[in-house]
Amino acid sequence: MPDIVLASSSAYRAKLLKNLHIPFTCTASNVDESPLKNETPIALAQRLAEAKARAVAEQFQHHLIIGSDQVACCGEHILGKPGNRETAIQQLSQQSGQIVDFYTSISVLDSATGKCLNDADLCSVHFRQLDRSQILRYLDIEQPYDCVGSFKSEAYGIVLFDKIVGDDPNALIGLPLIKLIALLAQFGIVLP
């Protein structure tokens, strides 16, 4: 099995990849994540996933490099990581009763050959109607200030939703493992 690198400093992505029981190294990719003019959310996620993989290719020249990126949208508005409580309150208030679409893209790059395969997953989160006290209680418990959309679906954040629609629940956390397994198989890494 070739050495695998996860081009990410995300503890959430690393935890998901550990579930596959394959050895890997993590490294930050330091890619500018600013959207291009008129770039769609899916195109942004796809471009950034591949850019993250390619950004570490010189450092890891004979590896399979996994890049992943996630873009969340509520209507036409792209959501970011809140960074603080006030922004999280604003985001969750905006998302109340709405559908938030998460586009999570994955790239696997063979740095020795330059071959790169890409795929993407769409997951839609249907938010319950939330009042301010529910939002504040959630933030007191979870403090998801480093999470896109101000929530963690794998934890207490599940109380915020009516339903989640998607093919892979891991994609919502940041790494679509079902898509990743299929891409790795195309590079000869078949997991039981």
Give the residue numbers annotated as catalytic, written as ranges: 69
> What is the distance between the alpha carbons of residues 124 and 104, in angstroms, rounded to a whole number?
11
Report the candidate in 150, 130, 129 with the shortest Cα–Cα distance to residue 141.
150
Work out the burial of residue 62: count CB atoms within 10 Å of its CB; fewer than 13 is exposed, 13-18 middle, 19 or more buried: exposed
Give the angle subtended at the CA of 175 by the CAs of 155 and 121, to the nearest 5°.
105
Output the CA–CA distances (angstroms, integers) from residue 191 to 113, 178, 180, 182, 188, in the order listed: 22, 11, 11, 9, 10
DSSP 163: E
Judge whether 134 and 88 are in contact, CB under 8 Å. Answer: no
